[in-house]
A and B are shown apart, each in its own frame.
Chain A
Amino acid sequence: MIHMEYYLVVSTIMMFAGIYGFFTRRNTLAILISVELMLNATDINFAVFNRFLFPEGMEGYFFALFSIAISAAETAVAIAIMINIYRNLRSIQVRNLNELKW
């Protein structure tokens, strides 16, 4: 018998690993990977809450589905932006991005 808190502990650790990566990485693609970790943690939470608290409903299930679809779209646009940055600056490190201001 697995309690739902165990699942929530796993997703919490995943979420804060993503937050740590978001704070400490200096490559924009690595930051995007950290964002993916955070989104995955929220997806696990949606599915677990649906499964354990409202097993007859399907709200959390569809929230997780739509969240996956929206993160796919977000990744596509973000990677297009990164490739455009690389084409302009020959680098995607965050410290070079202030050149885009002028």
Chain B
Amino acid sequence: MGSTLETVIFYFLAAFIIAMSIMTVTTQRIVRSATYLLFVLFGTAGIYFLLGYTFLGSVQIMVYAGGIVVLYVFSILLTSGEGDRAEKLKRSKAFAGLFTMVTGLAIILFITLKHNFMQTANLAPQEINIHAIGSALLSSDKYGYVLPFEAVSILLLACIIGGIMIARKR
């Protein structure tokens, strides 16, 4: 019974994500595009919750939905005028983009479905312990991640300084 509920939730999330990501790239107005992107991000967080990765899902909601989409909406409102719509592409260019997408999608789907992944037998949803995450993130042992952690923190500092330097008034 539990697995059928999981299946229903998965199919709902999959249909939701696919529909919203297609609408993100096909809608004419950019504010709607940002809104659909927000829904896609929520659906992705739902996928993480379904996999049992609760911490990753909450990071997704906090950083993406709480931070990045707000940034997008602010910059859209700052930079786009009234009644701003996407330009009509030439038909040949739109067709070329569609053809590239469909061909690539077919190739990748073929490879993915043809390949035989060596799945492990243990598939009960398992939560990664938050203590394990914290100690792996800050340990310098064999499976520790303290060096990329520090590199990301320096990257964030550099991005703060770079963003201020680029966007300030002269």
Q: Say yes or no: A92 contacts B17, CB within 8 Å.
A: no
Q: Is the interface of B mostly helix, strand, loop or mixed?
A: helix
Could you tell me the distance between the alpha carbons of A35 and B105 in the complex, rounded to whole angstroms?
Answer: 17
Least CB distance from A39 to B in Å reads 10
Contacting residues, chain A, for B105 (C-beta < 8 A): 12-13, 16
Q: Nearest B residue to A1 by beta-carbon distance?
A: B3
Interface SS of chain A: helix
Are A24 and B94 in contact, with the CB atoms below 8 A?
yes
Report which of B52, B89, B100, B159 forms a contact with A77, defined as CB distance below 8 A. B159
Q: How many B residues are at the interface, by size bracket?
A: 35 or more
Question: Are B47 and A62 within 8 A (Cβ)?
Answer: no
Nearest Cβ distance between residue A48 and chain B, in whole angstroms? 7
Shortest beta-carbon distance from A16 to chain B in Å: 4
Instruction: Give the interface residue-count category, chain A.
Output: 35 or more
B128 touches which of A37, A43, A58 (Cβ 8 Å) = A58
A27–B59 Cα distance when bound, in Å, is 28
> Which residues does B use to contact A, with CB under 8 Å?
3, 6-7, 10, 14, 17-18, 21-22, 24-25, 30, 33-34, 37, 40-41, 44, 47-48, 51-53, 56, 59-60, 63-64, 67-68, 71-72, 75-76, 78-80, 86-87, 89, 93-94, 96-98, 100-101, 104-105, 108-109, 112-113, 117-120, 122-123, 126, 128, 132-133, 136-137, 143, 145, 148, 152, 155-156, 159-160, 162-164, 166-167
